[in-house]
Amino acid sequence: MILDVFASPAIRSYSAAAGIIAGGAAIGGILFFLLLPTLIVIPMSLSETNYIEFPPRGLTLKWYSAYLSDPDWMAATWFSLRIALATTATATITGTMAALAIVRGCLPFRTALQALALGPLIVPHIVLGVALYLTFSPLQLTGSFLGFLVAHTVLAIPYVIITVTASLQRFDPTLELAALNCGANRLQAFFLVVLPNIAPGVAAAAVFAFLASFDEATVAFFISDVGGKSIGRKMFEDIDFNLTPVIAAVSTVLVATSLLLMGSVHLVNARKPRP
């Protein structure tokens, strides 16, 4: 009799529903866990109080104005911005050229070169940071624009190579043959036919390169010095020694920058490309 009740479809669907609700709640919890730490910086940056409270008491933009009026923060921001823009240029050009050589070239040791170029993605950044400090320190390149540019270019190149290689592999090589057949030389064929067709990939690569530099903190931690400090290094120091909501304001600005840039890449790539 009891067994019958348990076997009834109604009860079974109830337990199934309970299972779905429990599973849904668990996944909801995981998603909340994923999202919370990113989003929490926003209310924190707007909170009146000096310490973190939830819900925040009163809204204010004073931490933003504190950020904008602090010469140290401003110096670090401009320094990082200049480095990130320069890195975007060098890494995108170098990486795109390398991707062409890897996909379309006839180099010996092609796979070895590709593996080596992806190395900075695998090698722990602290190891690279220590190694670059040891190299730059005697040359007085620590804290310098050039030092950061070299370090961040190497860190950003793997992202460019992976992204541009993928879009080159999607590109129909017959189009380049058609351009040659129409009388274009290699350079014209590249700039007039290949590049316009892989442009979304190159743009995405440039965004990756920018963020790889702008958001980078570990290597920056080692190759910064008193004279030249990236925004990452400045944040690291302040989190360790001077935890104020200004950091939340800076974080919010950085998060907004990242999401804006990556979101636009995402949209461009999600849009159906012209066949």
Partner 1 sequence: MTNFISRSRSHRLSFRRLSSYSARFYSLPTSIVLATPLIAALAIGFLYPVLKLFALSFSGGTLAYYRRIVAEPLHLAVLTGTVQVALVVTVASLLLGFPVAYLMARLSKGPATVVGACVFIPLWTSVLIRSYAWVTLLQRNGIINELLIDTGVTDGPLKLIYTQGAVILAMTHVLMPFMILPIYSALRALPADYVRAARNLGAGPLRAFVAVTLPLSLPGVFAGSVMCFVLALGFYITPALVGGPGSMLMATLIGQQTTVLLDWPFAAALSTVLLAVTLLFVLLFRRTLSLSKGLNSVY
Partner 2 sequence: MIGQSLSLVGLQKRYGEMFAVRELSLDIAAGEFVSLLGPSGSGKTTVLTMVAGFDAPSAGRIVIGGRDVTRLAPNHRNIGMVFQKYALFPHLTIRQNIAFPLKMRGKSQKAATSRRVDEMLELIQLSGYAERYPNQLSGGQQQRVAVARALAFEPPVLLMDEPLGALDKKLREVMQFEIKRLQERLGVTVVYVTHDQDEALTMSDRVAIMCNGRLMQCGTPAELYRQPSSEFVADFIGRMNFIDGDCLDSKGGKTIVRLSEGSVLNLRSVGNDRDCRCAPGKALRVAIRPERIRLVRRGQGGAEAFPGVVDASVFVGSTYIVVVRLADRPEASLHVQIAADGFIPFQRNDNVDVLLDEEAVHVFPLVERCAA
Nearest CA to 112 out of 101, 96, 125 is that of 101
Contact pick of 11, 78, 173, 227 for partner 1 (by CB under 8 A)? 173
Size of the site for partner 1 (CB under 8 A): 92
Contact flag: residue 195 with partner 1 (CB under 8 A): no
Nearer to partner 1, 86 or 101 (CB): 101
φ/ψ of residue 48, rounded to 5: -65, -40
Considering only the stretches 6-14, 62-70, 71-79, 101-109, report the one whose residues sit in contact with partner 1 under the rule CB under 8 A.
101-109
Contact flag: residue 241 with partner 1 (CB under 8 A): no
β-sheet bridge partners, residue 56: none
Contact flag: residue 211 with partner 1 (CB under 8 A): yes
Contact flag: residue 41 with partner 1 (CB under 8 A): yes
Contact flag: residue 163 with partner 1 (CB under 8 A): yes
Contact pick of 240, 241, 242, 274 for partner 1 (by CB under 8 A)? 240
What is the signed CA dihedral for 18, 23, 24, 28, rounded to 10 degrees? Answer: 140
Nearer to partner 2, 40 or 166 (CB): 166
Contact pick of 85, 115, 175, 260 for partner 2 (by CB under 8 A)? 175
Q: d(Cα 192, Cα 198) in Å, to the nearest integer?
A: 11
CB contact at 8 A, 222 and 130: yes
Q: d(Cα 267, Cα 238) in Å, to the nearest integer?
A: 35
Contact flag: residue 105 with partner 2 (CB under 8 A): no
φ/ψ of residue 184, rounded to 5: -80, 145
Largest CA distance in the chain: 87
Contact pick of 181, 239, 259, 260 for partner 2 (by CB under 8 A)? 181
CB contact at 8 A, 181 and 234: no
Contact flag: residue 196 with partner 2 (CB under 8 A): yes
CB contact at 8 A, 201 and 188: no
Contact pick of 11, 182, 256, 260 for partner 2 (by CB under 8 A)? 182
- Report the partner that residue 77 touches, choosing among partner 2, partner 1, none (CB closer than 5 to 8 A by kind): none
Quick one: tokens of 185?
């030389």
Binding site for partner 2 (CB under 8 A): 172, 174-175, 177-185, 188-189, 192-193, 196-197, 274-275
